[in-house]
Amino acid sequence: MTLSDIIDPFSRAQTPPPRTLGRFVLWALKGAWPVLIPAALLSTLGGAFEVITAKLLGDVIDKALSSDAQSVFADHWPFLLFAAAFFVLVRPVTAGLSAFVQSVIMQPNVFNLILSRVHRYTLGHSVTFFDNDFAGRISQKEMQTARALNDVISEVVQAILFALASVAGSLLLVGSIDWRIAIGLVLWVGAYALLLRYFMPRIRKRSQARASARAMVTGQLVDTVTNIKTVKLFAHDEFEDRAALEAMSTYRDRFISFGHVASAFRFWLMTLAGTLPVVLIGTALAFWSQGFVSAGDIAATGAVAIRLSQMTGWVSFTLMGIYANVGEIEDGIRTITPAHTLLDAPGAAPLEVSEGRIEFRDVGFAYGRESGGVEHIALDIRPGEKVGIVGASGAGKSTMVALLLRLYDAEKGGIFIDGQKVSEVTQESLRRQIGMVTQETAMFNRSALDNIRYGRPDATMEDVIAAAEKAEAHEFILGLQDHMGREGYEAHLGERGVKLSGGQRQRIALARAILKDAPILVLDEATSALDSEVEASIQSALERVMAGKTVLAVAHRLSTLSEMDRIIVLDHGHIVEQGTHDALLAQDGLYARYWNRQSGGFVNPEAEEAAE
């Protein structure tokens, strides 16, 4: 193990993140203290050495004045050798070691430790959390929080502890020269503390507002770029420009507000810093004129005063940066750390699927509202049964699928798979046992190979190709080429698969589901983006992948469901009809009307609502 591996940058947090600043910092940094503490000690030692430097300077002057010019080296060579060794060897080695610990061991690892924990927790939020915010804003908050906290820790270790050690050492030094000079330094430090106490909370608050506005700009821009095709199709460049400019204008106002406080702080800071050499050196000169201090004491006091005056500027701006970062951390905490609303039950066990039987037992769910969703859903799907679900838009089809996958918890009743309630098994094991192909096929901006292998990450290349062939995707994948010159299965598909046609994306998604080979399969408009010829060509592949599995197939194109074992008809959240295709046609009910309308040229059952 190398020194840079002392901190495990990806170790998991054992508890959810607290929502208060101090406890959040401790949560995020747990495991990093074996490096933070030595880094802090080295920085403190470096600050103390600054004072020793001034003391050595004063002693050198006093010894030089106490000896003849010809004998000064002969009289004081041991001290002068010690001073030279301190400047040439001890001080540089300490500074270099401190820089190495901070730059190589601490900062890279602490940043990744914080980011991995924040990101891991964010991934645990329910779908609703992501539905209610910009994707760009959430990712911005993750990076912002990790970067800001890493900067705070780095600056505290690198600058603040260094400065505190320098101030404490300076007080001891000038106190040893004359206690009255030390009083002047104490009064100056008090005034400096009051200045910080007044400005820092204001900087923190306005930085927080600025960070929030900046994240909104990011969210707005990402939202526009993500949906750029829609923007172009509706010729809304100007509209999106105005929306972006409005967000930018708010950010500009918050930035200006921050700038007013920052500029006032700088003015008063420089004024106060300018008084320190005047007070300390002037007092030392006055006491020297009265014989109370030596010339070397004046030099040491002057060196301390000038060093502290110079340090005041960068330490104060470091503090301003720390408070600004604290504001950003608090803003990130508010966004990222709300409690997870969809948790595994205590002691939840992995789902064990032996048959694939699905039961909806008087299930009700209305998204927390008075109406909508589904109500009194009682459905028993036998192992290996192929069930189609139809209904008008808003009838509850997607809600049933989401409840089965436990993207939401049923408000009434329960859903069981092989007798195991889905809310009492682990979410991860539940979703591993369900393969799904949706109408809005999700593609990553990764290679075709990675997108298919997402169904089973340990699959071999041969397995991937076999799945692609079954989904009628292999041929077009071989012809892919991206802007980097990568070809075939190595070609990247673009964000959300934008470089593919709708049918190609759907076939990639089918290949992914085939590779996953889960015992339960959900098809949500799985062939909606395919033309009739392509759909017919992969129908046999679908039949093969459905063989031996329990299948729920949601479709508007009723012809795709005609061979299902059973068809469920939903209307306003209730099951109103169920049976085979032929039996439902014989009932001459809602399903029959849907079928007749589609036979007459209508696209899907949503037309029923329009007609009524």
Predicted confidence (pLDDT) per residue in 431-474, tens digit: 999 988 877 677 888 899 999 998 899 999 999 999 998 888 89
Segment among 63-67, 194-198, 273-277 with least mean pLDDT: 63-67
Answer whether residue 556 shows pLDDT above 80. no
Query: How sure is the predictor about 558, in pLDDT bands with cuts at 50, 70 and 90?
Result: confident
Q: Which amino acid is it at 611?
A: A
Q: To the nearest whole number, what is the mean pLDDT of the chain? A: 84
Query: Can you tell me the mean pLDDT for 182-207?
Result: 83
Query: Can you tell me the mean pLDDT for 520-524?
Result: 89
CA distances from residue 508 to 372, 448, 499 in whole angstroms, order as listed: 33, 8, 12
Answer whether residue 394 shows pLDDT above 70. yes
Query: How sure is the predictor about 537, in pLDDT bands with cuts at 50, 70 and 90?
Result: low
Burial (CB count within 10 angstroms: exposed 0-12, middle 13-18, buried 19+), residue 331: buried
Query: How sure is the predictor about 575, in pLDDT bands with cuts at 50, 70 and 90?
Result: very high
Predicted confidence (pLDDT) per residue in 411-437, tens digit: 999 999 999 999 999 999 999 999 888
Query: How sure is the predictor about 601, in pLDDT bands with cuts at 50, 70 and 90?
Result: very low
Answer whether residue 141 shows pLDDT above 90. no
Predicted confidence (pLDDT) per residue in 292-305, tens digit: 777 777 777 777 77
What are the CB-based long-range contacts (under 8 Å, 24+) for 15-21? 16/121, 16/337, 16/339, 16/340, 17/117, 17/118, 17/121, 17/333, 17/336, 17/337, 18/337, 19/333, 19/334, 19/337, 19/338, 21/326, 21/329, 21/330, 21/333
Query: Can you tell me the mean pLDDT for 253-259?
Result: 89
Answer for the pair 567, 605: CB distance below 8 angstroms, yes or no: no
Predicted confidence (pLDDT) per residue in 195-234, tens digit: 888 888 888 788 778 877 887 888 788 778 877 877 877 7
Ordered domains of the chain (ranges, CATH) = 10-336 (1.20.1560.10), 434-517 (3.40.50.300)
Predicted confidence (pLDDT) per residue in 468-513, tens digit: 988 888 999 999 888 888 899 999 887 655 678 777 888 888 888 8
Answer whether residue 16 shows pLDDT above 80. yes
- Percent of the chain exceeding pLDDT 70 equals 93
Query: How sure is the predictor about 535, in pLDDT bands with cuts at 50, 70 and 90?
Result: low
* Distance of alpha carbon 270 from alpha carbon 278, whole angstroms: 13
Answer whether residue 147 shows pLDDT above 70. yes
With tokens 């030692």, the residue in question is 45
Give pLDDT, residue 598: 77
Query: How sure is the predictor about 114, in pLDDT bands with cuts at 50, 70 and 90?
Result: very high
Answer whether residue 608 shows pLDDT above 50. no
Give pLDDT, residue 602: 44
Answer whether residue 276 shows pLDDT above 90. no
